[in-house]
Structure 1
Amino acid sequence: MRRWLDKSLKRKLSLLLLVAVVLPLLATGVVSYRIALSLTEEKEKQSGMNTLRQVADKLDFMIRDVENMSVFIIGQRDIQQYLDNEQADISLFTQNIGFLTNLVFSKKYISNISVTSTNDYPPLSNTTLLHSGLSEQIAGKEDYMRNNIKWWTSLYENQTTSDGLKRVVSLVRPIRNTSKFQTVGALSISLDEAEIRKILDAAGWEKKGFVLLVDQEGHIVSGESPEWLNRPLSARLPNLGELDGKDGVFPYSDGEKENNTVLYHTLSSLNWKLVGVIPTQVYTAQNQYVLTVTAYAIGIALLFAIALVLSFIQWVTRPLTGLASTMKDINPDEPIPTYAVKSTDEVGLLVHSYNKLSDRIQRLKEQVQMNEAKKKEADIMALQAQINPHFLYNTLSSIHWIALMNKDKKSAEMVGALSDFLRFSLNKGEEFCPVQQEVAHAQNYTYIMSIRFQDKFDTAFYVDQELNALPMLKLLLQPLIENSIMHGLQKKKGKGQLYVHGERHGGVMTFVVEDTGIGMDEDKLREIRRGLGGSLGQPEPGRSGYGLRNVHQRLQLHYGLDTGLRIESQAGEGTRISFTIPILEDSP
């Protein structure tokens, strides 16, 4: 893939721009979809909560209407008179029965109204009760009823002659006479659960969801199925938790079925709660539509963006492609052809610069050819200049033969060594030489210095024979030997030793120049080590030849920063200087 891209700028730009366009579009689509999901879910929750509030308003109206009716019944003069008489009055009984019947008939959600007397008078009711669960609701709560002006029961069953068996909830409140405020009876107004369920069903709750009316004790008063009535809410919705606060929304799952959203709202007239359950399937259906619309929109945008990007890249790279094709077919021996400029933008300026560069290259090419001709002329002159070194070699050779004829062997050897030393030092300006020549050059120098400083040192060379033919940078050993003689052995009292080692270790070779001279202390050693980083080619004070600094920096320039001199010394014992260089690849 990378090799395919590297071969074409057009491919790189296409990939870059497509990524730059496609990724933001995809990110925008994902963000838009998630926002739509969030809005859809939030809208559904808000709609569900509004529905609960509308249902709660209807139920609150019904409850307040019943409570207001109870106040009206308690204050009705015939009811008060019937309950306050010393004995039952049959005419008042009949009159009150008709009054209660008319009230019930005007309100469909009222199942029955009953008035009982503390004097065991016949109870007043709009219908004959064959069986009532009210007594079970009241049992054990007499003290509560005496201390409260009203009380709503849980769901229970009533059986009457006119309506049969019905589930009802009742408002129960004591009746006190208006003169002495003594309790003379009790009033119960029963609401039909079937009418409550009609209100819940008419709310238009989400399909597959349901709404429950729960009393203050957590029992279901009304809901989607009669089988759950009067049972705890936890039986219908396990692991639901507490419904704190007036209303709320939270996710719910019983661990087995699909996830749901639970909404609840508290009636303002009672501490009863409406609990609504919305399955996530409702969100999923709407989300699928949103996902489809988003996918189509992003897909169309991607196709349009890709077509636009490819057309733009083709338009931009067409002149560059032509220029590259022209340059690929250029013959170095022929003049560089120009390319037609067809635009004034950056690409056009680039082509124009290429044309100017081609003219400049042609002129430089002609100038180089001229310089080559001048260089050949300078080489001829340099050959003539070599007459002087040759004259020096010939003169030294003549002195060498004169010393031999006079039987002065030591002078002849010294002159011969000097001649070889100078011949190698000049060496036609070459930088590298075989190890064998470098060692021979060092031996010639050592021989000359041993005659100059007689009885000051003995010399020993130990160089591995495998290194003889290997190339190395020349004039490395002689400056190190000179340093050992001039600064170590010469200043020592008595005779010293000079050792030169050369060994091969795998792909590198190591050379060591070691003396038993006066050595140096730690301060002097640190000063010399710091001085190795000075300017290249700058002689040390008091020196006329190559110094340690030159050798160190020449090593790093030719072989890398990992090479360089390593200097070790102890005062009174001697100095050891070493360096390690890699064996060149073309070496045997």
Structure 2
Amino acid sequence: MKLRTKFLLSFVLIILILVLTIATVLYNVSVNTIKNNTASYSRFLIDQIGINLEKRTSDIEELAFEVFRLSNLDQVPIQESDDHTGSVLRSKDIADYLSNLLYSQPYIVRAAYIEPNGAPRHIGKTLDSDLAGIGLDRVDIERVKQMRGKAIWVPGSEGTLLMFKSLYGLTTGAYVGTVVLGIESNQIENIYTEINRLTSSNILILNEDHQIMNSGGIVPELAAFFMDNHFYLHRDSSTHSFQWNNTNYLYTVLSTSSDKWSIVQIISVDELTRGTSVIKYWTIHITIIALIAAFLLAAFLSKSITSNVRLLLHSMTIFTMDFSHRIIVPRNRDEVGLLAEKFNLMADKISELVNTVYKEKLLKQKAEYRTLQFEYKALQAQINPHFLYNTLESIYALAKLKGEEQIGELIYLLGSLLRESIGKKGDTIPLREELDFIRDYLTIHQIIYEDKIAVCYELDERWMDCVVPKFILQPLVENAIKHGIEEKPGKGTIRIACRSEGETLILEVTDNGIGMDEATIDKVMNPGNDPGLPVKDKHTRVGIISVHKRIGILYGGEYGLSIRSVPGEYTTILIRLPIMRGEERDEKESDRH
């Protein structure tokens, strides 16, 4: 991107981050404040609901006891009597007690009395006489007796709540029965109906057994999800949250002072944040306006800042193309304007130096390349007199000992080598021809050394048509034989491989000879650091460094030779070359000439 574009985007991005950060923080703070205030208000409201609920249920329980205290039930013998008259009197007292309870308050719709022997008596304001239908079997009477007068509340049927309370004689303290009252659920629900309307919340009232006592105003599926996940156990008066049906909810659970009731308030977060839509509306519009203003201001500032930079860049572009410089006249005197003036001075001096240094460098490179070409051609012409001498000696010995076939093969191979050495095929040849030359060269050595040398080729046919500098493998193979295999007892193996790494062709020559340490590798790759190199080593090692330098001049410093070796185990010489086909070679050579 251009500098002007970077300035523009930077200004816009900074303002965007600031505006969005401030807007997000303000919005979240507003929403959290609403949530916290609502949570505090909710705790206060459900605390009042708990107080009212305790009061109403206590009044009902007290009513049941007061009517009992005024009745004759505690004076009737508890044991069953054979006297029919006593039974009739007891039935009459129970009926009077239930009737007095039933009609004492309009919200009492059913009343039942369970005698010590378990026989139930029931009256109601409807004609329904199904005792099981009103829920008398929902509480264990033995449990009610163990509560010693403390009431148990459970949900009833047809919109009622049931209160179970055991009764004991006022003078004897003996158990005389259990009273059951059916209370209209509205008596409880009207405590929080107005609160639900004002806060858009849902109120659940749970008894001490965590049963839901109310059913109005809350979605049954939501109540079932809340109860199934045991959220009601969080009875620490703090506000918690959960998600149901892709909606977030806040809930608060509060227990009354007697732990008989748990009041749960569930509020949808969406209901809480309805008022924040105005905040969101103005936040979005202010953000858009700020961004438009920021963009216009940033465009003006970036253009003003980069005007001198564009002049300087244009002048640099022309200067890099033909080293001709036109004087820059800066539009202002800021840092970039001063930089343009300094560039004017620097460009004049560079123009003077480039013409001399660049030309000298080209002449030096051409001279060095010609020197290496002459040196390498001389090297390839002579190959190695010692090798030729050994080959001729072997031909002479084989002529005496074995006959003409092997002699003929040696002569044929030697002729092929000599033809390749003196042939004029240019500086580069296909990799296939270079490998054919090495095969002939190694075949002669295998005949000379018999079983001492084995050769392994790992070649990829895809790279056989790639062009490589001529005679780059022969000095490496010769080095592997003379300085690796000959000096180590036993059978030696030479491995020649080719592969690719990206756009680079890798040739490897590996032997399992005596290897080299780091100091020897340094001497081979940098012979100028060791002028005392033995004469017997100079031929092949000079050939190696010549190959390295020749590749560097032809293709650049990233290509050439590298050596890996472990003393006593192996030596691997890697050649890195660019992957080039025949057409690319012709273009390179035409450019060089």
| TM bucket normalised to smaller | 0.5 to 0.7
Q: 1:270 to 1:534 in 2, by over 3 A?
A: closer
**Preserved CA contact (<8 Å) 1:55 1:203:** no
**Preserved CA contact (<8 Å) 1:113 1:190:** yes
Counterpart in the other structure of 1:176: 169
**Preserved CA contact (<8 Å) 1:338 1:358:** no
Aligned equivalents of 2:144, 2:529: Cα separation in 1 = 117
Q: Tell me how far 1:174 sits from its aligned partner.
A: 1.6
Counterpart in the other structure of 1:63: 57
Counterpart in the other structure of 1:521: 487
Counterpart in the other structure of 1:200: 192
User: What one-letter code is carried by the residue in structure 2 that aligns with 1:521?
Assistant: E
Report 1:314-463 matches (<5 A): 314-325=303-314, 336-340=326-330, 342-344=332-334, 346-358=335-347, 360-361=349-350, 431-432=369-370, 462-463=418-419
Q: State TM-score, norm by structure 2.
A: 0.54
Aligned equivalents of 2:115, 2:203: Cα separation in 1 = 40
**Preserved CA contact (<8 Å) 2:523 2:529:** no
| SS at 1:211 equivalent | strand
Q: Tell me how far 1:10 sits from its aligned partner.
A: 1.7
May I ask how many residue pairs the two structures share in their alignment?
450
Query: What do the CA deviations read for 1:69-125 (whole angstroms, capped 9, x no partner)?
Result: 6676777xxx37896599999xxx9xx99xx89x96xxx886599999999xxxxxx
**Preserved CA contact (<8 Å) 1:149 1:174:** yes
Q: 1:549 to 1:80 in 2, by over 3 A?
A: same
User: What one-letter code is carried by the residue in structure 2 that aligns with 1:198?
Assistant: N
User: What one-letter code is carried by the residue in structure 1 that aligns with 2:329?
Assistant: Y
Aligned equivalents of 2:394, 2:532: Cα separation in 1 = 24
Residues 1:532 and 2:521 aligned together = no
Aligned equivalents of 2:222, 2:10: Cα separation in 1 = 60
Q: Tell me how far 1:442 sits from its aligned partner.
A: 6.3
Structure 1's unaligned 5+ residue stretches are: 120-126, 158-164, 380-427, 473-503, 569-576
User: What one-letter code is carried by the residue in structure 1 that aligns with 2:418?
Assistant: Y
Query: What do the CA deviations read for 1:222-265 (whole angstroms, capped 9, x no partner)?
Result: 34269x9xxxx789636841454263745364x7x977666544
Counterpart in the other structure of 2:3: 9
Q: 1:468 to 1:187 in 2, by over 3 A?
A: closer
Report 1:460-499 matches (<5 A): 462-464=418-420, 468=424, 470-471=426-427
| SS at 1:213 equivalent | strand
Q: Tell me how far 1:128 sits from its aligned partner.
A: 10
Q: 1:435 to 1:80 in 2, by over 3 A?
A: closer
Aligned equivalents of 1:362, 1:117: Cα separation in 2 = 119
Q: Tell me how far 1:200 sits from its aligned partner.
A: 1.9
Query: What do the CA deviations read for 1:440-472 (whole angstroms, capped 9, x no partner)?
Result: 78658989x999xx9999986524499615248
Aligned equivalents of 1:219, 1:541: Cα separation in 2 = 101
Aligned equivalents of 2:46, 2:375: Cα separation in 1 = 107
**Preserved CA contact (<8 Å) 1:210 1:277:** yes
Counterpart in the other structure of 1:414: none
Residues 1:298 and 2:300 aligned together = no
Counterpart in the other structure of 1:237: 224
Counterpart in the other structure of 2:47: 53
Counterpart in the other structure of 1:508: 468
Aligned equivalents of 2:279, 2:486: Cα separation in 1 = 87
**Preserved CA contact (<8 Å) 1:115 1:185:** no
Aligned equivalents of 1:282, 1:37: Cα separation in 2 = 11
Q: Tell me how far 1:221 sits from its aligned partner.
A: 3.6
User: What one-letter code is carried by the residue in structure 1 that aligns with 2:516?
Assistant: R
| SS at 1:149 equivalent | coil
Residues 1:251 and 2:242 aligned together = yes
User: What one-letter code is carried by the residue in structure 1 that aligns with 2:49?
Assistant: V
Q: Which of 536, 555, 561 is residue 547 of structure 2 equivalent to?
A: 555
Sequence identity (%): 12
Q: 1:175 to 1:464 in 2, by over 3 A?
A: same
User: What one-letter code is carried by the residue in structure 2 that aligns with 1:237?
Assistant: A
User: What one-letter code is carried by the residue in structure 1 that aligns with 2:150?
Assistant: K
Q: 1:238 to 1:47 in 2, by over 3 A?
A: same
RMSD of aligned residue pairs (Cα, Å): 6.2
| SS at 2:167 equivalent | strand
Aligned equivalents of 1:200, 1:133: Cα separation in 2 = 32
**Preserved CA contact (<8 Å) 1:174 1:187:** yes
Report 1:54-93 matches (<5 A): 54-67=48-61, 79=70, 84=75
Q: Tell me how far 1:54 sits from its aligned partner.
A: 2.7
**Preserved CA contact (<8 Å) 2:43 2:252:** yes
**Preserved CA contact (<8 Å) 2:110 2:124:** no
Aligned equivalents of 2:332, 2:222: Cα separation in 1 = 83
Q: Tell me how far 1:319 sits from its aligned partner.
A: 1.9
Q: Over alpha carbons, which structure has the higher Rg? A: 1
Aligned equivalents of 1:195, 1:188: Cα separation in 2 = 16
Aligned equivalents of 1:46, 1:188: Cα separation in 2 = 38
Residues 1:312 and 2:312 aligned together = no
Counterpart in the other structure of 2:437: none
Query: What do the CA deviations read for 1:285-329 (whole angstroms, capped 9, x no partner)?
Result: 456555434433433443344334333322321221233345566
Q: 1:584 to 1:283 in 2, by over 3 A?
A: farther
Aligned equivalents of 2:106, 2:259: Cα separation in 1 = 17
**Preserved CA contact (<8 Å) 1:173 1:186:** yes
| SS at 1:204 equivalent | helix
**Preserved CA contact (<8 Å) 2:376 2:543:** no
**Preserved CA contact (<8 Å) 2:201 2:266:** yes
Aligned equivalents of 1:117, 1:562: Cα separation in 2 = 106
Q: State TM-score, norm by structure 1.
A: 0.54
Q: Which of 272, 284, 287 is residue 261 of structure 2 equivalent to?
A: 272
User: What one-letter code is carried by the residue in structure 2 that aligns with 1:151?
Assistant: A
**Preserved CA contact (<8 Å) 1:262 1:277:** yes
Counterpart in the other structure of 2:152: 152
Instruction: Tell me which moved more, 348-357 or 519-528.
Output: 519-528
| SS at 1:462 equivalent | helix
| SS at 1:556 equivalent | helix
Aligned equivalents of 1:170, 1:455: Cα separation in 2 = 126
Q: 1:168 to 1:546 in 2, by over 3 A?
A: closer
Aligned equivalents of 1:185, 1:524: Cα separation in 2 = 111
Q: Tell me how far 1:58 sits from its aligned partner.
A: 1.6
Aligned equivalents of 2:577, 2:72: Cα separation in 1 = 130
Q: 1:206 to 1:191 in 2, by over 3 A?
A: same
Q: 1:23 to 1:142 in 2, by over 3 A?
A: closer
Query: What do the CA deviations read for 1:27-65 (whole angstroms, capped 9, x no partner)?
Result: 776677667666666665665454333322221232344
Aligned equivalents of 2:45, 2:307: Cα separation in 1 = 65
Aligned equivalents of 2:312, 2:330: Cα separation in 1 = 9
Q: Tell me how far 1:584 sits from its aligned partner.
A: 7.3
Aligned equivalents of 2:275, 2:293: Cα separation in 1 = 28
Q: 1:323 to 1:129 in 2, by over 3 A?
A: closer
Aligned equivalents of 2:166, 2:564: Cα separation in 1 = 113
Counterpart in the other structure of 2:589: 587
